[in-house]
Amino acid sequence: MSAYPTAFETALQAAIDGKTKPLGALGRIETLAARLARIQGTLKPRAKTCSLTIFAGDHGMAQAGVSAFPQDVTRQMVANFLTGGAAANIFAKTLDISVSVVDAGVAGAPIRHPALIDRKVAPGTANAIEEPAMTDAECRKALEFGLEIGRTAQTDAVCFGEMGIGNTSSASLIAAKLTDLPVGALVGAGTGLDNDGLLRKRALLEKAASRTPSHLDADTALREYGGYEIAMMAGAMIGAAEEKRIVIVDGFIAGAAALCACAIAPDCEASFIYGHRSAEAGHARVLEALNASPLLDLDMRLGEGTGALLAWPLVKAAAAMLCDMASFESAGVSGPAAGVSP
């Protein structure tokens, strides 16, 4: 239900219906345009600029074999992001979107690069299969760093991506504890596990899930099973929503962060646009829990914010429709005849 008064909703619907088109002819673009108007509280929503922030962090679970890739890949991919070589960089460059990279908790020595934003909470989490991934203080610090990043964003819309070997396992456990679903229903191949690897991953995550009660609040789920990049992304979503930014939510791991953000600060969900439906097994369940209808379904499961980036042109077009498209009145075009269904 909209938080805006009936007068605003009436004017918004009239603005959409009064454009030079049959009623409802632009389908979900009209729904998207209305959501943008509500996010910003105006009939002329602004969607001219967009940024991507990629949060990187390592997971102790990676050492147990939950991923097809070694943990060092997190660090290597951070270098790839910083030199512009990843898919997220290429999509962002094509769409004129700025990219920032945050070290939320990459294992190993500090990464020295002038473009890297250093918000390292610790060099990777503990092994959540055996013990809590982080302490209360570490979890709060990650959330607070994220809040700051979200609140200080300078663009109309924000996309948040992630990198962290093992983080589909973390997302599966977080989602299971917030939705009361069995973790096995949320486990997918992640970076490309074969059948044996997937069976091993499922067994390890079921062991991890058995450490704690079946349902946890968001703060506890993040502390027990989260990654610093996931907690920081959840905080960034909340911070950006507080500033009435358009938050384009990416795939499975971003979806788990969104679940946490909505549980911690329920009002933030009103600012969320769901970019795509990931091919990762658990994402459909997460979207159901969020009551979300993503804009795209491209069989992608990369992360990095790539799905959110590809949704940006639709967001931009929906805002332009509401702001710039002529009305029947302004264009001198006759509307539907009285008493005739459009």
What's 112's domain CATH number?
3.40.50.10210
Query: What average pLDDT does the segment 72-78 reach?
Result: 97
Position 4 in a domain: no
On whether residue 2 sits in a domain, the answer given is no
Instruction: Tell me which amino acid residue 125 is.
Output: T
**DSSP states of 49-103:** -EEEEEEEE--GGGGGT-SSS-THHHHHHHHHHHTT-SHHHHHHHHTT-EEEEEE
pLDDT of 94 reads 98
Q: Is the pLDDT of residue 270 over 80?
A: yes
In a domain, 326, yes or no: no
Q: Is the pLDDT of residue 251 over 70?
A: yes
Q: Classify residue 43 by burial, with Cβ atoms within 10 Å: 0-12, 13-18, 19+.
A: middle
Q: How far apart are CA 190 and CA 187, in angstroms?
A: 8
- Per the structure, the complete domain to which residue 203 belongs is given by 50-320
Q: Is residue 18 part of a domain?
A: no
Q: Evaluate if residue 65 carries a pLDDT over 60.
A: yes
- Residue 40 belongs to a domain: no
pLDDT digits (tens, 9 = 90+) for 14-48: 999 999 999 999 999 999 999 999 999 999 999 99
Q: Mean pLDDT across the stretch 303-308?
A: 98
Neighbours of 60 (CB within 10 A): 21
Q: What are phi and psi of 332, to 5 degrees?
A: 65, 30
pTM here is: 0.95
Residue 304 annotated as catalytic: yes
8 Å CB contact between 140 and 122? no
pLDDT(182) > 90: yes
Q: What pLDDT does residue 2 have?
A: 65
- Report the number of distinct structural domains present in the chain: 1
Mean pLDDT of 157-177: 97
Average pLDDT, the chain: 95
pLDDT in tens, 131-147: 999 999 999 999 999 99
- What number is the average pLDDT over the span 85-101? 98
In a domain, 328, yes or no: no
For range 164-170, the mean pLDDT: 95
Average pLDDT over residues 253-274: 98
Res 69 pLDDT > 90: no
Task: Give the C-alpha separation, 242 to 146, whole Å.
Answer: 12
In a domain, 325, yes or no: no
Q: At what angle do helices 306-324 and 28-40 cross, to 10 degrees?
A: 90
High-pLDDT (> 70) share of the chain, %? 97
Q: Which helix (H) or strand (E) holds 272?
A: strand 272-274
Select which of 30, 224, 269, 304 is catalytic.
304
In the prediction, which pLDDT does 338 show? 56
Most trustworthy range by pLDDT among 19-28, 185-194, 331-340? 19-28
184-218 b/e (C-beta count within 10 Å ≥ 16 → b) = eebbbbbbebeeebbeebbebbbebbeebeeebeb
Structural domain contains residue 189? yes
Amino acid residing at 176: A
